[in-house]
Structure 1
Amino acid sequence: MPDALAGLYQQVILDHSRARTGEGPLPDAAAEHFERNPTCGDEITVRIRLASGSDRIEALAWEGDGCSISMASASVLTDLATGRTLAEMGEVTETFRAMMRSKGQGEPDEEVLGDAVVFQGVSKFVMRVKCAMLSWVALEACSTKIAARA
């Protein structure tokens, strides 16, 4: 990744960590899940509300405390998840997970990941991957809880 692009990606992460999309409570959530990274202490609770009679995510909200990477990742996830079905987000999450396991190699699918491609550089730092994945894992758990009720 060129240095200029890496710098831009770092700036997007910092911007999302400061001006957080989706942070706060969510009344009438269909599911919620708490995740904690015991290595660094990051914590997050993700809540989702579905559109009436569907599995489309009407709203995703989160509350948490942690590093700029985990908070920015939750913010980006909010933007990506809103309006998509649980199945679609399952596919997006798998693409994000593959990128996070890539150790910075290859080109992430920007069409699928949107702004989440900014975390490609994070994948080079094994200790930070869980920070970026925290909210995504919580969303997966929310989806599993909803599927178990169906």
Structure 2
Amino acid sequence: MDDIRLDKYLWAVRIFKTRSDAADAVRTNKVTVNGAYAKPSREVKVGDRIEVKRQQVTYSYKVLDLVSSRQPAKNVPDYCLNTTPQEELDKLNVPRETIFVFRDRGTGRPTKKERRDLDELMDGIYYDDEE
């Protein structure tokens, strides 16, 4: 086995739960291979560096060996080395700001417009460092 599809590799080493999740992440430019954006069908080779952006953290992996079938979690270190810097992992422990939205009692659930406004507010707080 000389090479394998990027989406299949990401699924096989348990970076994504499903292969379609992996393909969607690659298509939306959340995954780079050796510093360049790729298609889900891009061939991965031993030694490639893969970076996966999830929320505010960019995880880095090095391909150690190729595998086409999904592996048990205990076998993943044989195929993939997590090289994520500690400062990226520290972003997971950042204390979350709490927002309390006051609603009058008895007004019911938020309307669709109010929900969108709330989601926009939350995205501005948690994802302000993204494009």
Q: Which has the higher contact order (CA 8 A, sep 6+)?
A: 1
User: Which of 1 and 2 has greater Rg?
Assistant: 2
TM-score (norm: length of structure 1): 0.22
Q: TM-score with structure 2 length normalisation?
A: 0.24
